[in-house]
């Protein structure tokens, strides 16, 4: 499985969100390189924490922005975000017991999720926010 490389086509057109999506992708890619590098357990759990915390921060910031501009499909976003947090919490609960098996699964989940989150869901708010003058 290859890492995802950032492409212009991933842009929503909203700079703050695009920057966060890019950072999130970098963190997911870091998780991959750490997985491949047979690193220490604590190094893996550090990057997992940074990655998951950043993902939660991003979803929070995104929801705030969509609330501020009255995005009509806010509920779809909120549901999608809640589902993500629920899945991540399940992973977190399993992580301590067997990181060797859970971390690769988590990586695959994050990678797939990132693509569906950004490409399928978030691109919908780009034109709407741009019309409202958000850059």
Min dist CB 16 to Fe ion, Å, is 10
**Closer residue to Fe ion in complex, CB, 27/122:** 122
Cβ 62 to Fe ion, closest distance in Å?
Answer: 5
CA distance 134 to 79: 23
DSSP states along 69-106: TT-TTHHHHHHHHHHHHHHHHHHHHHHTT-HHHHHHHH
Q: Does 18 bind Fe ion (CB under 5 A)?
A: no
Hey, what's the torsion of the CAs at 98, 99, 102, 103, to 10 degrees?
-170
In order, the DSSP letters of 14-50 are -HHHHHHHHHHHHHHHHHHHHHHTT--HHHHHHHHHH
**Nearest approach, Cβ of 109 to Fe ion (angstroms)?**
16
- Pick the piece of the chain touching Fe ion (CB under 5 A) from 43-51, 66-74, 79-87, 120-128: 120-128
Among the listed residues 122, 125, 128, 134, the single contact to Fe ion using CB under 5 A: 122
What is the Cα–Cα distance from 103 to 114, expressed in whole angstroms?
A: 16
Which residue of this chain has its Cβ atom nearest to Fe ion in the complex? 122
Q: Using the minimum distance from each CB to Fe ion, give the nearer residue, 55 or 102.
A: 55
Q: How many residues bind Fe ion (CB under 5 A)?
A: 2
Name the residues that contact Fe ion, by CB under 5 A.
62, 122
């Amino acid at each position: 499985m290859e890492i995802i490389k950032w492409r212009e086509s991933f842009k929503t057109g909203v700079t703050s969100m695009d920057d966060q999506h890019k950072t999130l992708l970098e963190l997911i890619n870091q998780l991959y390189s750490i997985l491949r590098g047979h690193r220490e357990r604590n190094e893996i759990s550090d990057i997992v924490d940074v990655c998951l915390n950043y993902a939660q921060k991003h979803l929070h910031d995104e929801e705030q922005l969509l609330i501020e501009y009255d995005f009509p499909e806010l509920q779809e976003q909120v549901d999608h975000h809640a589902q993500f947090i629920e899945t991540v919490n399940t992973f977190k609960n399993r992580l301590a017991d067997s990181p060797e098996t859970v971390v690769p699964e988590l990586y695959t989940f994050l990678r797939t999720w990132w693509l569906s989150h950004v490409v399928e869901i978030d691109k919908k708010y780009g034109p709407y926010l741009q019309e409202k003058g958000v850059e």
